[in-house]
Chain A
Amino acid sequence: MQTIKVDARRLLCPMPVIRLQDAMEPLPVGSQVIITCTDPGVKNDIPAWSRINGQSVLNIQEQDHEIIITVQKDSNE
């Protein structure tokens, strides 16, 4: 199990989703990715991506125009 951080600031959707997806792929189930974004669209897109791909959003935090989302890998498929 690992926790990794991804910097997706200044990237516009769907780039943060792609960064999250690519970061998550090699990780073992149970790992977490903490991604920092500035495009508010991620508040919809990352939970939607997680729902359809069987992963869970654990936390969404906002501070100073930055959105920090923690996603846990629940499925390997």
Chain B
Amino acid sequence: MTRKAAALISGGLDSLLAAKAIQQQGIHVEGINFFTGFCVEGHTHAIRKQDKDKPKRNNALWVAEQLGIKLHIIDIVDEYKDVVINPKHGYGANLNPCLDCKIFMVQKAHEWIQKKGFDFLITGEVIGQRPMSQRKQTMPIVAQESGAEDLLLRPLCAKNLPPTRPELEGWVDRELLHDFSGRSRKPQMALARHFGFEDYAQPAGGCCFLTDENYSVKLQDLWTNRGHKKYDLDDIMLLKVGRHIRPHKSYKLIISREEGETRFLSGYKKQFQSIKTISHAGPLALIEGATLNAEQIRLACAIVARFSKGKSSEQVELTYSAAGGEPETIHVSPLPAHEIPQHWYLL
């Protein structure tokens, strides 16, 4: 009887190698990839025009294709909010709740294998690879708190861990598994060469925007100024786009930096107040927060004008529109760069 395993596929090298190692033992493998809304995959490519020339691919799909396996992409945006908002094990260097995230994903994958009649699950985790979520002490925490227990096999470091059920039952041969540990990537690169994989993705910090300092500053700012940690998918998408400037606790500006971002932001004009330069080429800005009063509209327009081709002109004509409303013409002098305090800029 052919045993079946589900592999958590992030799109990075480790999950590719882990799945391949198990596939080579005659196990039927299918991939699962979770979409949290914070995934790095392609978004900025999709938005920014200047990135369009670079080839873009979804690494999880690419990995599945290399392996010749099916890939199930699962939307966990809503359920994942609780992981980001209340991580039981805390955050890493930025707003990345890596340990809770791992537990949650393994738990979801465990539920999936039970529903689909698969025998066990595998991840590309390596002991000591990541400071927060992949340590010797955290490996059993992930297995226990996710409920996967001994059905969770980590092929790349299995020999450094107690045998799991797939090994004890003889579904896989423990001797053919690996004993990688630590931060070095050399063993993975050697194994990739052995399997003949080239051109794989090597994410530096992690698999999602929550490990990014600039992104985390913007998310924290959103939470602090709203007075709660709730968010929706549009909120977290918009944190990836444009220049963010907060002149006041009650509102901030999201100003496009190039044409691709302008087009992307214009899709939100029905939901947000917006400002567009008219007399000069310039950005589109969305206003996130409370409805602006007349004085705030003038200030916001002066800031937007500063980022237009008219920044050295006496006067710039712009339009301000309420969410989904008609444009109203405004004339202002662009705010000089030195009059925009540094602390208004969110990194």
Contact = CB atoms under 8 A, between A and B. Distances in A.
Given A18-B73, A65-B263, A45 B35 contact: no
A67 to B, nearest CB: 11
A14 B35 contact: yes
A51 B68 CA distance: 9
Contact of B35 (A15, A39, A54, A77): A15
A18 B61 CA distance: 12
Given A10-B267, A12-B46, A13-B42, A48 B62 contact: yes
A53 B45 contact: no
B85 to A, nearest CB: 21
A21 B58 CA distance: 15
Among A10, A13, A41, the one with the most B-chain Cβ atoms within 10 Å of its Cβ is A13
B69 interface: yes
Given A12-B47, A13-B58, A52-B64, A41 B71 contact: no
Contacts of B56: 40-41, 44
Is the interface on chain A under 10, 10 to 19, 20 to 34, or 35 or more residues? 20 to 34
B71 A53 contact: yes
B73 A21 contact: yes
Given A52-B71, A53-B71, A44 B57 contact: yes
Interface string A11-36: 01111011001100000000000000
A21 to B, nearest CB: 6
B41 interface: yes
Nearest to B71: A52
Interface string B51-87: 0100011101110110011111111000000000000
B58 A17 contact: yes
A37 B211 CA distance: 29
A50 to B, nearest CB: 10
B242 to A, nearest CB: 15
Contacts of B72: 21
Contact of A48 (B57, B68, B75): B57
Residue picked from A14, A17, A38, A45, most chain B C-beta under 10 Å: A14
A14 B41 contact: yes
A45 B58 contact: yes
Contacts of B52: 40
A1 B166 CA distance: 41
B176 interface: no
A12 B42 contact: yes
B69 to A, nearest CB: 7
A49 B64 CA distance: 9
B237 interface: yes
Nearest to A38: B267
Interface string B250-287: 00000000000001000100000000000000000000
A12 B237 CA distance: 9
B136 interface: no
Contacts of A52: 61, 64-65, 68-71
Given A41-B58, A52-B61, 13 more contacts: A12-B42, A12-B47, A13-B46, A13-B58, A14-B35, A14-B39, A14-B58, A17-B58, A44-B57, A48-B58, A49-B71, A52-B65, A65-B263
Interface of A: 10, 12-15, 17-18, 21-22, 38-41, 44-45, 48-49, 51-54, 65, 77
8 contacts: A12-B47, A13-B58, A41-B46, A44-B58, A48-B61, A48-B65, A52-B65, A65-B263
Closest 8 interchain pairs by CB? A48-B61, A39-B46, A10-B267, A45-B58, A13-B42, A52-B64, A41-B42, A12-B43
